[in-house]
Amino acid sequence: MARSGRARCLGMAWWLVLVALLAPICLVEAGETERKILYYRNPMGQPDISPTPKKDSMGMDYIPVYEDEMAGDAGSGAVRINLDKVQKLGVKTEIAMKRSLSREIRAVGAVSLDERRLRVVSLKYEGWIEKLHADVSGQKVKRGQPLMEVYAPVLLQAQQEYLAALRASEALKQADAETRRTADDLAEGALTRLGNWDMPAGRIRQLVEQRVASRTVTIPSPASGVVLEKTALQGMRFMPGEMLYRIADLSVVWVLADVFEQDLPFVREGQEAEVVLNALPGKSFTGKIAFIQPMLSPETRTAKVRVELANPDGQLRPALQATVRLQATFGEATISVPDSALLDSGARQVVLVERGEGLYEPRAVRAGVKGGGYVEILEGLLEAEKVVVRANFLIDAEANLRAALGHFSH
């Protein structure tokens, strides 16, 4: 009896040891049978699946897809992803909220002359240049500074007629009023002709006071600036209307920049603009948009925008290349998400909305303007909903793959 009892105890002990050894294996098999593998998919997202484990052309193992991962919200097209896989993919979400969007608009242009500050020196009579004072192009001149001295027969004749009329008026002091008035009218007419021919006012005043006709007349500069072009030569004969000098006032210059058509709705006259130039690194100039060209260039799809800049020290030279920066604000605050959250294929615009841990719903939306790293969502998304901003294209690819497999299964 004792021997049979010991045998039973020994047999029970061996049974317990066997159970202890086989328990982990059974648990592993049970854990494996809990998750059923449906198929293996390409690790690079290619539309290739396999019913058995395999490797791709680069030696990477195909990824198993489990049955529980396919269990999403079939009605909304949501996809469920294992939390370990979410962590490995580096999925990141952000809350959709209302923001006032703005972004920087950049346009390339060049410094140009202010057309309103250009002056052309031409005379209304025929004559000869007897002396040049401004004799080189690029010379700086000031308003009223002598440019040249000219001899013009019509000016000399008008001066002499004025002096003759004055002498006649003095000689006819005893004559009747009509005769004296005629002499005065002749003198006044001679002065009027000199004024119409743009004879300097100082020279006319000198004629009246000193009563001496001048053979030559000094032509002053009509504005302060730089002599851009000079055709006048000493001793040359000039004709009425012929350009002798072209003078530009560079105290204010223009920057003409090309703004692309998609940026034009956010540019307005009076808007402040920052200008930087390649020739002056580290410096920036601030001006305002004075004019937006109404016509669009069909070749470049741009419109010229004019920025006016003060140039008191003359650093801004015509034809210097410039970059114009504008801060465009898009109005009131609207629902927006990081632009990385938007999946735009051209045919559709989608964001992935997080509906729970590991559960993501592809949501069709209508996007608006972009700015500052965010994109405006006009339709399809509510405030405070979470959207995927990183690794979303991987989730979207997996959702599309599962949807395609669902169609095949049907």
Q: What is the pLDDT of residue 45?
A: 58
- Picking from 102, 154, 148, the residue whose alpha carbon sits closest to that of residue 124 is 154
* Residue 384 and residue 96 in contact, taking contact as beta carbons nearer than 8 Å: yes
| 201-210 vs 153-171: helix crossing angle, rounded to 10 | 30
Half-sphere exposure of 158 (CA within 13 A, CB side): 24
Burial 195-206 (b: 16+ CB within 10 A, else e): eebebbeeeeee
Superfamily of segment(s) 104-115+249-329: Efflux pump adaptor protein, beta barrel domain (2.40.30.170)
Helix (H) or strand (E) holding 243: strand 243-248
* Angstrom distance (rounded) from CA 330 to CA 367: 14
Report the 3 state secondary structure along 115-151: HHHEEEEECCCCEEEEEECCCCCCCEECCCCEEEEEE
- Assigned token pair, 142: 């000031």
Q: Which residue has the tokens 């198929």?
A: 39
Half-sphere exposure of 210 (CA within 13 A, CB side): 10
The model's pTM:
0.63
- Assigned token pair, 119: 């002056």
214 to 121, 150, 199, 402: CA distances (angstroms): 21, 11, 11, 101
Task: For the chain, 410 residues long, give each residue's pLDDT as a single digit of tens.
Answer: 445 445 454 444 444 433 343 344 333 343 444 667 767 777 765 657 777 888 888 888 887 776 655 554 444 567 777 777 777 777 888 888 888 887 889 999 999 999 999 999 999 999 999 999 999 999 999 999 999 999 999 999 999 999 988 888 777 777 777 777 888 888 888 899 999 999 998 899 999 889 999 999 999 999 999 999 999 999 999 999 999 999 999 999 999 999 999 899 889 999 999 999 999 998 999 999 999 999 999 999 999 999 999 998 889 999 999 999 998 877 778 888 988 888 887 788 888 888 877 788 888 888 888 877 888 888 888 888 888 888 765 666 655 655 554 444 43
Q: What is the pLDDT of residue 142?
A: 94
- Assigned token pair, 194: 């000199």
Q: What is the pLDDT of residue 133?
A: 94
Cα four-point dihedral sign 388, 393, 398, 399: positive
Q: What is the pLDDT of residue 408?
A: 44
- Assigned token pair, 168: 């006649």
Q: Which amino acid, residue 33?
A: T
Q: What is the pLDDT of residue 227?
A: 96
* Residue 309 and residue 292 in contact, taking contact as beta carbons nearer than 8 Å: no
Main-chain phi, psi angles of 305, to 5 degrees:
-120, 130
First to last CA, the chain: 69
Task: Name the residue ranges covered by the structural domains of the chain.
Answer: 2-34, 35-66, 68-100+333-409, 104-115+249-329, 124-241
Q: Which residue has the tokens 């005043």?
A: 205
- Picking from 121, 119, 145, the residue whose alpha carbon sits closest to that of residue 133 is 145
Half-sphere exposure of 154 (CA within 13 A, CB side): 14
CATH fold, domain 68-100+333-409, is: 2.40.420
Q: Indicate the burial class of 42 (C-beta count within 10 angstroms; 0-12, 13-18, 19 or more).
A: middle
In DSSP terms, 387 is beta-bridged to 94, 353
Q: What is the pLDDT of residue 299?
A: 93
- Assigned token pair, 100: 């006032």
